[in-house]
Chains A and B, each alone.
Chain A
Amino acid sequence: MQEPFRAVASREAEGGREIAVTVRNVGMDFDGVHAVKNASFDLPKGRFLTILGPSGSGKTTLLRMIAGFQTPSSGEIFINGEAVSAVPPHKRSIGMVFQRLALFPHMTAAENVAFPLKMRRRDARTIPERVERYLELVRLGGYGGRRIHELSGGQQQRVAIARALVFEPDLLLLDEPLAALDRKLREEMQLEFRRIQRELGVTTINVTHDQREALVVSDDIVVMDQGEIQQKAQPIHTYRQPRNAFVANFIGVTNFIAGTVRAVSEAGDVSILRGDLMLAGKIGDPVNPPAEGDKASGAIRAEQIRLAGDAAQLSKLDCMLAGTVTDTIFEGERMVYEVACAAIGDEVIRVFDHDPAAHTQFDIGESVFLGWNARDMLVFR
């Protein structure tokens, strides 16, 4: 299962790289509710980590604890090897870009960027030059004299980034700053974040609920749900080898077919039985593998399913299902088909069809065949 990704893994293998942030067994209770449960991870220096999760998953709470706005109920956070629970935010060397940016409206762009330098009592003579350099870094050279409300949404984002970076913090925290932007600008700013982060090499923790953003910008992704870390992996592993059904479902479009485990092999092959249908797949979570007789579900991505009007075209694939198209959704770069399959009790399977050559179209009510390979179906308990 690891083979296809070995190349990526070896490129990323960093032998004993220094650790910038360690989160160890961190928990947070709000009136008996566990917002964060026993979270642990290490973040090496210079890497871009994204904490990804739905709202209420505890990702923002975790970030606020790292920033110092909240104190963990249990566990400890280390920055550059030092425990920081007792250190107030203004004594931590952390630059933060806030959800609503939190730029100071009574100051100009340059004054906003100069603020952290002034608060850190840097030599006043060096401040203007430094402010201009960072405004240029975020491509706002010459805009320093503008008031915040005179800048566009994207420009305000850039001021917020410059302000968070100008004092060369050990750590940059991004609290969903792109959530309010329209899609075009958001995608542009995601690439900006990545460019700036790589240019400066600053260790960064980003929080988002946008899976695309997480995949695009990050070196590592921590997926959180209900206060717990579900998986920490590089984006490509998170996508291709989700550790559990939650991760598989949260990132990408995944179909789940529930069944009973019939056979498990040493090599990680597993079959599940649904009615009369036997489906072959791979064990999704080797740490917690299903055993024969367990209830389990097979997860198959919408883009890994082939769609054809006649069964012969899919003969090379391991699994096949017959169904009827119930809906077609045109998304521009691809067509999404919803197909009800009789063999699994008319449950709907979603299929992406983005075959640029054939332009085959299926209509609602048409009978089709779905096919996929056994190695693309991950079985989770």
Chain B
Amino acid sequence: MRAARTAYPLKWRIMDALEGVAAAIWPARFRRATPYLMLLPAVLLVGLLVLGLIQIADASLRTLDTTTFQFSDDYSIANFRRALTEPLFLVVAQRSLIAALIVTAVTLVFAFPYAYLMVRTRSPGLRKFLLIALFLPFFIGQVVRAYGWLIILGNQGMVNEALGLVGVAPMRLIYNYPAVLFGLVQYMLPFAVLMLAPALTAIPEELEAAAGSLGANWVRTFIHVVLPLARPGFIGAGVVVLTLSLTDFAVPAILGGGSHDFIANAIYDQFFRTSDQGLGATLALMLVALGSILVGLVFALFGAGTLAMGRSRA
């Protein structure tokens, strides 16, 4: 009796019961429709997104009458003209774009050694520690973390107090561009490590040993073997970090203190401060276009990396 129970475990009996229920609700002749049914939620979500985009596109073509606070009934491209000609928006766009590029480069440089150590270490304890350290920031949330940096880097913050102990006058460490970049890199690091790690795992350790036996020291092994093979990981991580940085809102808002806004902050201002939904929608569309062009450019130049899901052989 005992042997029979282990040969057909309880889990299987439960599965049998569930299959019975499923068969009653969803008879076998509906089977062909099952895959489509499973796709339905995703299709609905994407559909909603498209509807939203259409609405935004519609709004972007209507101008705000500042005397009546009414939107025009007829379409015009006035909002686009404003977005492209007013210096403020160009400054904001340029600031976001340059920040996104710098943050991506710095994050990838910092993330690589972390990911490499995490993948290659022989100590399970160290690997666990690195993983936990990686996920911890996710539990805290972006806004709380940005405020945390205010406390640490503020004029009366820990860093300035420590500097005061050694006789250095308090420095302005926040509400400037480097602070925004710093906050973004710190925020993006875990994403980049998580995207890089699988790509590094896919590189057999034997290849590095082989490079060594063939006469390459670790620097040349890194340059000629590890780096080229990790390229898909770099592309995947780069695209994710680039788009997340470009569209970020909280870090520039909090660590930039309103004086170093990104595109997302400008959009927010249009929607909720000046209530010019038309112009806000225009900026939003242009941000979507800018991000798409950048990602398209990366894919065209370097391939889709890990985001190609292993379908392409670059």
Contacts and interface: CB of A to CB of B under 8 A. Distances in A.
Interface of A: 67-69, 88-90, 92, 94-96, 98-100, 102-106, 115-116, 119-120, 149, 163-164, 167, 173
B229 A119 contact: no
Contacts of B228: 106
A99 B213 CA distance: 14
Given A98-B206, A99-B206, A149-B313, A104 B225 contact: yes
Interface stretch (B144-152, B167-175, B216-224, B253-261): B216-224
Nearest to A106: B228
A96 B207 contact: no
Nearest to B215: A119
Contact of B204 (A102, A116, A163): A102
B213 A115 contact: no
22 contacts: A67-B213, A69-B213, A88-B212, A90-B212, A90-B215, A90-B216, A94-B213, A95-B214, A96-B213, A100-B206, A102-B209, A102-B210, A104-B211, A104-B225, A105-B229, A106-B228, A115-B216, A119-B216, A119-B224, A163-B214, A164-B214, A173-B213
B214 A115 contact: yes
A164 B211 CA distance: 11
B311 to A, nearest CB: 15
Interface string B175-212: 00000000000000000000000000000101101111
Interface SS of B by simple majority:
helix
Contacts of A115: 211, 214, 216, 224
Interface of B: 204, 206-207, 209-217, 220, 224-225, 228-229, 313
A167 B216 CA distance: 13
A247 B204 CA distance: 35
Contacts of A163: 214
B213 A89 contact: yes
A18 B220 CA distance: 34
B208 to A, nearest CB: 9
Nearest to A105: B229
Contacts of A67: 213
Nearest to B214: A116
A262 B84 CA distance: 107
A173 B224 CA distance: 23
4 nearest A-B pairs in the assembled complex, by CB-CB distance: A102-B210, A119-B215, A116-B214, A102-B206
A100 B215 CA distance: 19
Contacts of B209: 69, 89, 98, 102
B284 to A, nearest CB: 40
Scoring A95, A102, A163 by chain B CB atoms within 10 A of each residue's CB, the highest score goes to A102
Contacts of B224: 115, 119
Contacts of B211: 90, 104, 115, 119
A68 B210 CA distance: 11
Scoring A88, A89, A95, A120 by chain B CB atoms within 10 A of each residue's CB, the highest score goes to A89
A85 B46 CA distance: 61
A89 B210 CA distance: 9
Contacts of A120: 215
A173 B313 CA distance: 32
A98 B229 contact: no
A95 B213 contact: yes
A326 B289 CA distance: 80
Contacts of A103: 210
A90 to B, nearest CB: 5
A185 B219 CA distance: 37
B7 to A, nearest CB: 31
Contacts of A106: 228-229
